[in-house]
Amino acid sequence: MDHFTYRGGALFAEDVPVAEIAAAVGTPFYVYSTATLTRHFQLFDDALAFADHLVCFAMKSLSNQAVLRVLAQAGAGMDVVSAGEYLRAKAAGVPGDKIVFSGVGKTADEMRLALEGGIRQFNVESEPEMIALDAVAQSLGLVAPITLRINPDVDAKTHAKIATGKSENKFGIPISRARDVYALAATLRGLKVVGIDVHIGSQLTELAPFEAAYAKVAELTETLRADGHEITRLDLGGGLGIPYARSNEAPPLPSDYGAMIERTLGHLGCEIEIEPGRLISGNAGLMVSKVIYVKSGEDRDFLILDGAMNDLIRPAMYDAWHDIVPVVEPAPGTATARYDIVGPVCESGDTFAKGREIPPMVAGDLVAFRSAGAYGAVMASEYNSRPLIPEVLVHGDQFAVIRKRPSYEEMIARDSLPEWLE
């Protein structure tokens, strides 16, 4: 569910007409719904009511300060994967004891930053990382709370580029070596093992892969406890998918996911952490773009937009589908037209959709890309020297620009010339 609906023939973001935002900030832009963000967070929070728990938003999906503040005020923790994300979370008002630090390549500087600033836990991905973290913690006279990320070798049945739980992936410690690595961790004075971490991938549309992985986590928990380790916390990652194409079968609900967690892991008495990103932020955002030209080709028509792959790269990178809808609702019975929907970047890959059936469009019309809140703005670039596009937050009948579009002068001024070129 989201809060982007047609009223009186116009697309609204909560109680604000999308066309009104476009007139104020220009196109293209991202717009996020506060009501959708908080509702989706609450669904996860309610789903874990059976246990002590923390829902940590995977901020790699959407890291704007205003969005983080909305979720922090709702009670969310944060899952971060870099020093920059850690500092963003702190700047948004998230306390260190609600921040989980994930990622395969944490540096000593990042470890030091989080230890000094406060951290709930590090999700450690390898023995070399564990040894490095121990050294940093001991140099500071601190003890770092850790889970070890276990790779359960479970096929998440998702796109190959966002699968993380198979033995061929770079993530985690093979489950076959878990006991040995936990035994090593117990000997390191700068570390305190608090639990187990697992994350098998993103955009999962069925519960079976989760359940297979969590069954292995349950068995491993019992084994490690028998070995003398204190396992009090299970970090189960994120990855629950969203329905990008409305004709597709809907992925499981957070309530179903929570019930499965209770069924497979509830008997262990552990605190539960989950790290959803896409399901909280994905349907909470639109990217809005304007038609520049309608071009007739040899065997197809092209809808050329002012938004491009540098603004929303998912279709180019993952062949991802986004529903693309007109901002002005078509009259009932309006015939559709077939377009390749493309951007102005000088790449054939700058294609959002091929042969997409939508109502006929003309230059100046506005279109909205649904389900664009996750991995949209955060993956944007300035390719072709196109400035990053604005982000807008809606709250009821109010809206505010939460990241402005830089001017060309501001973008160029970030470069500097060496003195021998002056």
Pairwise CA distance, residues 21 & 388, whole Å: 17
Beta bridge partners of 403: 391
Nearest Cα neighbor of 171 from 196, 147, 152 is 152
Cα 309 from Cα 381, distance rounded (Å):
9
Which residue, 138, 211, 200, is CA-closest to 175? 200
CA–CA distance, 322 with 77 (Å, rounded to integer): 28
Q: Are 399 and 21 in contact (CB under 8 A)?
A: yes
Q: Within 10 Å of residue 228's Cβ, how many Cβ atoms?
A: 9
CB-side exposure of 170: number of CA atoms within 13 Å?
6
Q: In DSSP terms, which residues pair with 5 in a beta bridge? A: 12
Radius of gyration over every alpha carbon of the chain, rounded to an integer in angstroms? 23
Task: Give kind and range of the element (H or E) at residue 183.
Answer: helix 178-185
Query: Quick check: 207 and 257 in contact, CB under 8 A?
Result: yes
Residue 358's alpha-carbon distances to 66, 322, 324, in angstroms, are 33, 13, 8
Cα 69 from chain centre: 16
Locate 224 and state its tokens: 């490690």
* CA contacts within 13 A on the Cβ side of 74: 26
Pairing of strands 337-342, 301-305: parallel
User: Which are the catalytic amino acids?
Assistant: 346
| Cβ proximity of 133 and 111 under 8 Å | yes
Burial 144-164 (b: 16+ CB within 10 A, else e): bbbbbbbbbbbebebeeebbb
Q: How far apart are CA 68 and CA 60, in angstroms?
A: 11
Going by the DSSP 8-state scheme, the letter that residue 250 receives in this structure is P
Whether the Cβ atoms of residue 402 and residue 20 lie closer than 8 Å to each other:
no
What does the alpha-carbon distance between residue 179 and residue 194 come to, in Å, rounded to a whole number?
14
Dig out the tokens for 129 from the structure: 């990382």
